[in-house]
Structure 1
Amino acid sequence: MREVLNLLLMTSPAADPAAPVPAAKPLPGTVPAPGSPAPGGRISGAVWAALGIVYVVWGSTYLGIRIVVETVPPFLASGSRFIVAGLLLAALVAWRHGPAALKVDRRRLGSAALVGLLLILGGNGLVNLAETTVPSGLAALLIAVVPVWVVLLRTAAGERPGLGAYGGVLIGLGGLAVLTLPGLSGDVGIGGVLLVVLAALLWAAGSVSSARLPMPANPFTASVYEMLAGGVGGIVVGLLRGEHHGFDPGAVSTGSWVALGYLVVFGSLIAFTAYAWLLQSAPVSLAATYAYVNPVVAVLLGVLILGEALTWPILLGGAIVVAAVCLIVSTERRR
């Protein structure tokens, strides 16, 4: 998700909260690069493969989170996931560019840590907590409203995104209102719904901040420190909440372990690299389509694998939100 948000911010390209990803040139050698799209508008098979990874993997992270938090405390799960992912990414950066690539000054380290706390502790951590009561598909649709919050935060900062973006905001807020109906009707805990809304707002704040704060020059290095700061923050919050009391790692289900590993390797590393490569090898307009597809994938997986209910508020609200995101992103691409 972070890339499309940075596209909206009109910087070099989120992860959705499940996978914060810097928009930058990929690490050499991490994904085979067949070159730019072929002349005449033809898209290579490698581009479609990378796009498919981003569609499916990022769309499935909400399902993964839902399975993890069945037997693992939410903040401990989020914190451990991003600490492991951050360490793996740090090792990859050091291997490809040398240990010096990880050196940053205190100011940029502090900025990266702050952004990581907003994106990972606030955005992802609260989604983990919310999904203990909120269906994964509904959580994904509520998070899809993030571009709406980005436009509003940019406006508060003095920018004028344009009439199309504001139209998308109005439509998106309407979709958000419809999506909260399951909570208001008692079908889903309203507290969980509000947690996801807060997570989306914090994710948007982190994305806006990352475009304005002095960040490490290498965005992969920035992502390392964001992951580590957010991961440590998640562990601290989990301990303060007492999530470790009575927690027995031996009681964690096989499904939760597999889902946690999937989130680390696929959600936080493979899809992250695939998207960074896409930004170099495919039209940005094509790469940005994941913002429309991921919520749909998340809803379908929740229905097919977890048997989540496909209610009319989810269908209608989801369609409205996707339409709003399409309008906002297409407006920003034309600017």
Structure 2
Amino acid sequence: MSPRHLALAVGIAAVWGFNFVVMQTGLRHFAPLQYAALRFALAAFPALLFVGRPGVAWRWVAGVAAAIGVGQFGLLLVGMRAGMPAGLSSLVLQTQALFTVLFAATLLGERLTARRVAGLAVAFCGLALVAVDFGVSGPIGAFALCVAAAAAWSVGIIVQRRAAPPDSLRFMVWVSALSAPPLLLMSLVLEGVPSLDVPLEGWLSLAYVAFLSTLGGFGAWGWLLRRYDASTVGPYALLVPVFGLSSAALVTGEPLSWPTLLAAALILAGVLYAGSRPRRRLRDVPQALSRRPA
């Protein structure tokens, strides 16, 4: 990866990590489901008028919208409103990689190797440590909602993998368009008629998550994935909770306890190990070369 593209990958991770602090700010002015609905509405319009059709069957767009738009972000924002801190939310949400491996094995029949099982075990130890540490001082229900959001995200990833959209930005615009109506309906039923008498801070928060994080982040990430293998680009997503935890500590004063840091190390190490490929031993290389056709 070239230095400019490397900087872009790190920059996207920084934008997504700081996104949690921005969402926490927005939740001071909007109800959770209202905030999610407005986020996707702004991400979809007016971009919807310029991107063209999604390029895949509508059932795939609807499936990702239900899993990621409604499920992931609806549950995440409700959990954050219920007391889940921004930095810790960015860390727990990364467990989507673990759920993705489990769901891919059970639903798609993908092979669950010993390496993946070991990585899952290490990462789930980190998740259990977060649950115990946060459960002592915070609402465990908020933590459970964040874990459920990670599981919903993993379902969306699997659906999107099956869809294989040719243009990730165009696909995300349509996902946003299909996510906004059900979120708005749920907000009206569960949260009542929303008030739009919101200070500038709230609208700036919405602009950040809609344009910079959703459209800019997913668009740039898809652009990188079209130029490099997923195994090259994917690991940079592990920087998201690093930026999320550090920005929350700097901006909101969210404490970084030793259990949190240890849990972060376990989760990130487990996810990275489960997603990596074993290196071929040097003594196996000559044998592999000898089996190559001339």
TM-score, scaled relative to structure 1: 0.77
Unaligned runs of 5+ in 1: 1-36, 38-42, 94-100
Residue type of the alignment partner of 2:181: V
Task: Identify which of 101, 114, 136 aligns with 2:63.
Answer: 114
Aligned counterparts of 1:319 and 1:119: Cα–Cα separation in 2: 26
**Residues 63 and 298 of structure 1 are in contact (CA less than 8 Å); yes or no, is this contact kept in structure 2?**
yes
**Residues 26 and 201 of structure 2 are in contact (CA less than 8 Å); yes or no, is this contact kept in structure 1?**
yes
- Is 1:249 matched up with 2:196? yes
Name the structure with the higher helix share: 2
Name the SS of the counterpart of 1:233 in structure 2.
helix
Aligned counterparts of 1:178 and 1:330: Cα–Cα separation in 2: 24
**Residues 172 and 325 of structure 1 are in contact (CA less than 8 Å); yes or no, is this contact kept in structure 2?**
yes
Deviation at 1:210, TM superposition (A): 2.6
Show CA shifts across 1:118-145 (max 9, x none): 1111001111111111100111111011
Deviation at 1:149, TM superposition (A): 0.4
Task: Identify which of 232, 253, 263 aligns with 1:317.
Answer: 263
Q: Relative to structure 1, is the Cα distance of residues 229 and 57 closer, same or farther in structure 2, using a 3 angstrom cutoff?
A: same
Name the SS of the counterpart of 1:259 in structure 2.
helix
| Identical columns (%) | 24
Aligned counterparts of 2:195 and 2:45: Cα–Cα separation in 1: 24
Aligned counterparts of 2:112 and 2:183: Cα–Cα separation in 1: 33
**Residues 53 and 271 of structure 1 are in contact (CA less than 8 Å); yes or no, is this contact kept in structure 2?**
no
Task: Identify which of 32, 35, 39 aligns with 1:81.
Answer: 39
**Residues 133 and 259 of structure 2 are in contact (CA less than 8 Å); yes or no, is this contact kept in structure 1?**
yes
Unaligned runs of 5+ in 2: 281-294
Task: Identify which of 82, 87, 90 aligns with 1:140.
Answer: 90
Aligned counterparts of 2:68 and 2:84: Cα–Cα separation in 1: 20
Which residue pairs with 1:67 in the alignment?
Answer: 25
Aligned counterparts of 1:203 and 1:332: Cα–Cα separation in 2: 27
**Residues 302 and 308 of structure 1 are in contact (CA less than 8 Å); yes or no, is this contact kept in structure 2?**
yes
**Residues 168 and 218 of structure 2 are in contact (CA less than 8 Å); yes or no, is this contact kept in structure 1?**
no
Show CA shifts across 1:194-228 (max 9, x none): 0001111111112112333x576554443222111
**Residues 137 and 298 of structure 1 are in contact (CA less than 8 Å); yes or no, is this contact kept in structure 2?**
yes
Deviation at 1:286, TM superposition (A): 4.0
Which of the pair has more CA radius of gyration? Answer: 2
Aligned alpha-carbon RMSD (Å): 2.3
Aligned counterparts of 2:67 and 2:105: Cα–Cα separation in 1: 19
Residue type of the alignment partner of 1:147: A
- Is 1:300 matched up with 2:246? yes
